[in-house]
Chain A
Amino acid sequence: MPEKENIQKIIESLSPIERSIIPHLNSPIPEIIEKSGLDSTSVLRALQFLSNKGLIIFSKTTKSVIDLGTNGVYYKKNHLPERRLILLLEEKNHLPIQEAKKLSKLSDNEFKVSLGVLKSKALISLDNGKISLQAKKEELTKNTIEEALLELLPIEESKIKDEQLLALQNLQKRKDIIEINKKTIVSFSTTDLGKQIASTPLQTDLIESVTPKLIKSWNSQKSKRFRSYDLSSTGPKIYGGKKHFVNQGIEYGKRIWLDLGFKEMQGSLVQTSFWNFDALFTAQDHPVRDLQDTFYIKDIKGQLPKDKNLVKAVKQAHESGVKDSKGWQYSWDPEEASSVVLRTHTTCLSAQTLSSLDIKKDLPAKFFSIGKVLRNETVDWSHGFEFLQTEGIVVSESVSFRDLLGYLQEFYKKMGFEKIRFAPAYFPYTEPSVEVSVYHPEKKVWLELGGAGIFRPELTIPLLGKAIPVLAWGQGFDRILMDYYKIKDFREFYQNNLKSLREKRAFIK
């Protein structure tokens, strides 16, 4: 870019404040502040912008400045203690030490120091417990070197003259009279470019902002130019309102099931064991029902469903089996089934949905849910007591195990996982059962995401009245979210650190 055009472009980018200080660039900063009539913050900011544009170069120097300490300020106003003693002695000439102290109203320390100072200057003498004035009148009216120095402060240390040095040392020995501060002093020098611009007449009719008035009169001002902005400067940050990132993920998952034609199921987090376990053909002595794994509610006994036939059928399925099944061969306890738990899986919602279906009218049917489940676990980077599960069922006479694999494959494809793997698994309520893993192309590992299967007849006969195939899955959802948001620590899901929530990216797949 030719020099001239460059200069012109810079001139057009100067803000009004920058323009107003350019004429004063040969003055030091305090003078610029005075001459421009601007406050110091605006001047410094404008100088920063000019420095960004290469008009000036900042330099910082650190200087030691000698200034008054706390006592120094007081003494400058009300005389040094030795002066006050002198003034007293001027009246009396001789005084007993104790009386002099009392009359002078000096502190012990001040009095002692004053005596020392005046003695060393030979202005007084001490004799038989008495102070006698020794100085002549003109000596008394003259300022001491210490007083002279106090008058000069503040002063840069480097500007102290040899004759003032002694006074400085004397005062430094005394408490809080003198303070030496290090000050950073900002100054700048104007570059050649700056000098050139300062000597160029600045165009003054650049448009600063678009106003209603300007718009209206635009036709008559067409030839005017706009001041250019410094577009590369960083501005302040802004954060919008935001859905919690977990809920953003849930909404995405929901969208997939809805696109696949599923209906949403909802239900309680608190369930009786009947719905959480018994209706799902989980034997009453199954270890998953232990206090160590499941949250039981204290002091509350629930009720079995009002539908007596359902309860009877579930009991029979457990005890001796329904149609072609041997059952678990034990005596089923209704008390145990009426204990109240926090749901350990969303599969209880599937059980409730099945029991509400009319198989003559409602089939085929597909349902999903994405919801919280709770288990009695400790909390650390890889564990927590709350999780998310995505649940689904497909109820139809015509579906098969391969269709189950097809639905799961479709869901994970839409979640961004192209490769999926199936392995045998065991759950009390499905047969055949399958464990689903997806391949993580970046990490090059298989992620185990959860179980699926076809509900056993011991479950579907009591709930539906007939052994109709029900494809079912309850997949972990947290790992997908952890992977998407690159969360290493499970606890972050519930931490609610507002800084991190504000900065979380949106869930887009």
Chain B
Amino acid sequence: MANVKFPRKEFESSLGSKITKEMESLIPLFGTPLESLSDSEIELEIFPNRPDLLSMQGFLRAFKAFIGKSPGLKGYKINPPEKKYKVTISPSVKPVRPFTACAIVKNLKFNDESIKEIVDLQEKLHSTVGRNRKKLAIGIYPLEKIKLPIKYLALPPSKIHFIPLESERELSGQQILQKHPAGREYAHLLEDKDKYPVFVDANNKILSMPPIINSHDTGKITESTDSVFIECSGWDQQVLQKTLNIIVTTLSDLGGKVYSMNLHYGSKKLVTPDLSTEKIKISLPDINKLLGLDLKESDLSKLLPKMGYDYKNSIVQIPAWRTDILHPVDITEDIAIAYGYDNLVPSIPNVATVASESQQSKIESKIREILIGLELIEISSYHLIKASESRLYKLKSVIALEDSKTEYKILRPNLLIPALRILAENKDNEYPQNIFELGTIFSHDEKTETGLSESTNLLIASSPSNFTDLKKILDYFASSLSIKLEIKESEHQSLIPGRTASVLLNNKPIGYIGEVHPHTLNQWNVKMPLSVLEISLEEIFNLLE
């Protein structure tokens, strides 16, 4: 998700009208939530499927069509490549960063504001479609500093030497990754490669080392720049070309004159940018069925141009900067947006089905009722426990998370650990404290798809209390469910020997009951005598079904 901020004055002058109250409520209905609006700025949220709206020019192009100011597909003139407008792609880039899409734009008049806009757009595209430069990176260079044609090739890092942006001296490929701030940030994208990709001009001057950094000599746009060379490099030719289209149409809207370039992938030739439209066939009955509307052919001819499309005879012309049209349903959604989500009347559907609660839910609910009848209070704890708690409990095999932003890093193997934490946290509250929890616990299990299995456990803790007190609760619980639970003396690391028993259902152990050992209570900072029982409910669910 990306938020963009546009200067309000320029926004309104390009739009040709003020942002009225009515427009404020219309903007979110276009699919771009209005995050904030001040006298100087408008901030919008742009969903990841619409990178073409990340620039003010791109947004206004689409929004003007939506409000009926300039409906339909907007045309852009692309001038054919001039002599030397050529990029040769060496096979050496294939394992490193195999593709590029390039263009030249002339006749630009940059000022501080428009340079900032272009840099912002570049950064937003990097972080969204570019997946933080992994999938795609963009370089923009002042044309007057470059001698065409261009080569895109990969070199051993030791053979790469240039002064990167924001540096005072020449660095090698390795040095850039180790020392330069941008190099360190994106080092993981190249580190394991034998060769690094570079763009080189006809004087063999290195223009940039994508996706890391441009050269100081050739990689900086200033107010005196009037023509630029643009390249996108990455792993997906389609995505590179769509992104290039987003950039060149934005520059064209800023007054630029766009020229295409010849790309030579060995014998394969390609001309970019290519703004020819894609076509998709839609079906009016399918659209009406999916939306629950009764639109006519003539409605489509009005609605589709509002979303920037051209439409005729079931064929939709898709602008070359749209990256999100995979299927006719994507067109259907745009028709719904053009129709207005606020105009869609919710209908009461007539789908007759029989409701049912899951058997497990029903039993769990019943168990809760039985236990609150004994004046127990239900608690609800995190499914994760802290690493420190796992050590304190001396857990042998833990199920740990790869990464966690909090101290909770391990899946709980029982409900006792969270209960001890919660009782310690409640040590100053009124006693007796009789609590229970119904919840999922986790264990290793090679037989499942995930290698883990889950079980619903019941924990009851009573403080202050002794074995007999808790045994009464267990007996009442069993008789209320009409099941037979037996107990047999056993051991448990946290409980007092001789006051600890296994709970058996049909001779199978399903848990334990006993008095918690003062040693354990001290460790967990629990101040009052405590008895606990914890049983797995899985067998009981099976039995009651």
| Residues of A near any B CB (own CB < 8 A) | 239-244, 246-247, 251, 254, 257-266, 268-272, 285, 287, 291-292, 295-305, 321, 324-330, 340, 342, 364-366, 372, 374, 376-379, 385-386, 394, 396, 398-403, 405-410, 420-426, 431-435, 454, 456-458, 469, 493-499, 501-502
Contact = CB atoms under 8 A, between A and B. Distances in A.
B337 A424 contact: yes
B371 A501 contact: no
Nearest to A302: B450
B90 interface: no
Contacts of A456: 327, 329
Contact of B422 (A406, A423, A424, A496): A496
A456 B49 CA distance: 14
B380 A385 contact: no
B426 A497 contact: yes
A405 B293 CA distance: 13
Interface stretch (B91-99, B187-195, B350-358): B350-358
A109 to B, nearest CB: 43
B145 interface: no
A498 B426 CA distance: 7
B328 A269 contact: no
B403 A407 contact: no
B404 A385 contact: yes
A340 B403 contact: no
A394 B347 CA distance: 14
Interface string B121-158: 00000000001001100000000000000000000000
Interface centre among A251, A261, A365, A423 (most CB of B within 10 A): A423
A297 B379 contact: no
A374 B375 contact: no
Nearest to B237: A329
B252 interface: no
A435 B349 CA distance: 20
B290 interface: yes
Interface stretch (B36-44, B429-437, B495-503, B504-512): B429-437
A401 B336 contact: yes
A240 B378 contact: no
Contacts of B50: 426
B346 A405 contact: yes
Contacts of A372: 383
Given A271-B450, A329-B238, A423-B341, A401 B349 contact: no
Contact of A262 (B353, B375, B430): B353
B536 interface: no
B426 A402 contact: no
Given A242-B372, A242-B377, A402-B291, A431 B349 contact: no
Contacts of B408: 385
Nearest to B454: A268
B425 interface: yes
B440 interface: yes
B503 to A, nearest CB: 21
A378 B442 CA distance: 22
Contact of B47 (A398, A406, A422, A426): A426
A285 B371 contact: no
A264 B403 CA distance: 32
Interface size class of B (residues with CB under 8 A): 35 or more
Interface of B: 28-31, 33, 47-50, 131, 134-135, 236, 238, 289-293, 326-330, 332-333, 336-337, 341-342, 344-349, 351-358, 360-361, 365, 368, 371-384, 399-406, 408, 411, 422, 425-426, 429-430, 433-435, 440, 442, 449-452, 454
Contacts of B344: 401-402, 405, 422
28 contacts: A242-B377, A243-B368, A244-B379, A254-B361, A258-B355, A261-B351, A261-B353, A261-B355, A263-B354, A264-B356, A268-B454, A270-B411, A270-B442, A287-B131, A296-B402, A297-B400, A379-B406, A385-B406, A402-B291, A402-B347, A403-B346, A422-B344, A424-B29, A425-B47, A432-B337, A494-B382, A498-B429, A499-B429
B329 A422 contact: no
A432 B31 contact: no
A212 to B, nearest CB: 28
A403 to B, nearest CB: 4
B349 A403 contact: yes
Given A264-B357, A287-B131, A401 B326 contact: no
Task: Determine the main DSSP class of B at the interface with A.
Answer: loop
B206 to A, nearest CB: 29
A435 B290 CA distance: 18
Contacts of A401: 290-292, 336, 344
Interface centre among B353, B361, B426, B451 (most CB of A within 10 A): B353
Contact of A259 (B290, B355, B377, B435): B355
Which 4 A-B residue pairs are closest in the complex by CB-CB distance?
A400-B292, A424-B31, A402-B292, A241-B372
A259 B354 CA distance: 10
B185 to A, nearest CB: 15
A269 B454 contact: yes
B329 A457 contact: yes
Contacts of A434: 341
B379 A264 contact: no
Nearest to B431: A498
A297 B452 contact: yes
A263 B353 contact: yes
Contacts of B327: 321, 324-326, 431, 456-458
Given A328-B326, A499-B430, 10 more contacts: A241-B371, A296-B403, A298-B401, A299-B400, A325-B327, A376-B405, A398-B351, A403-B351, A405-B344, A432-B290
Nearest to B422: A496
Interface centre among B134, B399, B403 (most CB of A within 10 A): B403
Contacts of B373: 241
A395 to B, nearest CB: 9
A398 B426 CA distance: 54
Contacts of A324: 327-328
Contacts of A271: 450
Given A266-B360, A433-B333, A498-B430, A247 B377 contact: no
A126 B397 CA distance: 86
Contact of B348 (A303, A329, A406, A421): A406
A327 B290 contact: no
Contact of A431 (B292, B329, B347): B329
Contacts of A421: 342
Nearest to B337: A424
Nearest to B332: A432
A299 B353 CA distance: 43
A305 B358 CA distance: 24
A431 B331 CA distance: 9
A272 B342 CA distance: 38
